[in-house]
Amino acid sequence: MRLPRSFSNNQIDPRIAMRAAVKRPVAAFERGDNARASASDSGASSTRAAAERKSAPTAANPRPQSSAGRSGMVMRPFGKHTDVKVSALGMGGHHLGAAQDEATAIGLVHEALDGGITFFDNCWEYHRGKSENWMGKGLKGRRGEAFVMTKVCTHGRDGWLATQMLEQSLNRLQTDHLDLWQAHGVSFENDPELFMRKGGAGEAMLAAQKAGKVRFLGFTGHKDPAIHLAMLATGFPFDAVQMPLNAFDASFHSFQTQVVPGLNRRGVAVLGMKPMSGHGEPILNGAVGAEEALRYAMSLPVTVTITGMEKPDILRQNLRVAQNFQPLSADEMRALEKRVRPVAADGHFELYKVSLKFDNPEARMAHGFPIDEQSAEVQEMLKDTQNDGHAYPAILE
């Protein structure tokens, strides 16, 4: 069988489901083993039982200690690196690239900084580089006020590509280093294997950290808690892990119950995303309010909650919640979870877990899967949105 060209020939075919790569690696992570391992059936059973317990902040699973920053913004320690503080609210890079224009995006970054936001999320592939370019222009002259994170999009491909992407991201963001560099969108069961292989992205990330081009390392994903646990069971020294955390997640394929407690115990920074389920569908459908959705997500034991703010009114709404933040009580959190449980049970408001809607085309192509040609990301890739035959940025003729 011929392998996709994007993988080395000495690697397994990524189209073959590698159940053994994930095989419930919960027990190894929960024990704190620093080696790759898979869980026994008893380990998996104990994790399922643990998932039934409530995951609101408790004495054993506390919310990170907060302090006040600029404009009353809540600041929290970055996992075990307690000398590093970041804002409890983070600006999402994907939505920034959907701002009305470049001037609007730059203004949003400036207003976010003035409002106390220090955590800025981005990704090499967001809007074909536009998100990083616009964020870099917004941070120009104010880099020292920001904790800048972006993601690498190898999706199982070789480490040299990760290094090349890092240089492109640094150039777009107009900086000589990243505060956090993360492997983007682990979604396939063999992603941990491909990440850790010789010559893979894991090696490239460690080399970049050693060279001083990145401070901290992490990974992201929104598909399946089991894949997150498999990544963690590799023993790679992750400083941060990003995942969707909202009231709907609490009762459906839950990252909150399966992944977050172990990270808290290990001092790994928990980065929450999609507090409003990606594009705000539950708000538009009246299942939750925008402010209560954000308050819920920020009340979890997380370091930062990252959300999209492509319009000034959305940014200001979120700043009102985050400045002088008042977390929900445990009873309020349980009540909201109970209220949304009937519509959460089938993933209706978390389509990133159960459908192609949020699947990244770079990842699907790297793994040899078909892509959704109707998605905005694919249309951008095909230049449909520009309708001029040129990739971003437009070529002047």
Backbone φ and ψ for 270, nearest 5 degrees, come out as -95, 120
The dotted CATH code for 58-345 is: 3.20.20.100
The residue to which tokens 């299942």 are assigned: 287
The yes-or-no verdict on residue 43 having pLDDT over 50 is: no
271, 218 Cβ separation under 8 angstroms: yes
Residues 139, 141, 146, 149, CA torsion sign: positive
What tokens appear for 287 in the block?
């299942």
The yes-or-no verdict on residue 238 having pLDDT over 90 is: yes
H/E stretch holding 67 reads: strand 67-68
Compute the mean pLDDT over every residue in the chain, rounded to the nearest whole number.
Answer: 84
d(CA 238, CA 226): 17
d(CA 88, CA 290): 17
Residue 186: pLDDT band with limits 50, 70, 90: very high
Strand duo 74-78 + 81-87: pairing = antiparallel
Q: Determine which of 43-52, 127-136, 269-278, 380-389 has the lowest per-residue pLDDT on average.
A: 43-52
d(CA 245, CA 247): 7
Q: For residue range 265-318, what is the model confidence (pLDDT) as tens digits?
A: 999 999 999 999 888 888 888 899 999 999 999 999 999 999 999 999 999 999
Which residue did the predictor score with more confidence, 315 or 43?
A: 315
The predicted structure's pLDDT at residue 18: 36
Domain spans of the chain, in order of start? 58-345
| pTM recorded for the entire structure | 0.83
What tokens appear for 12 in the block?
């397994």
Q: Whose CA is closest to 220, among 339, 304, 99?
A: 304
The yes-or-no verdict on residue 14 having pLDDT over 90 is: no
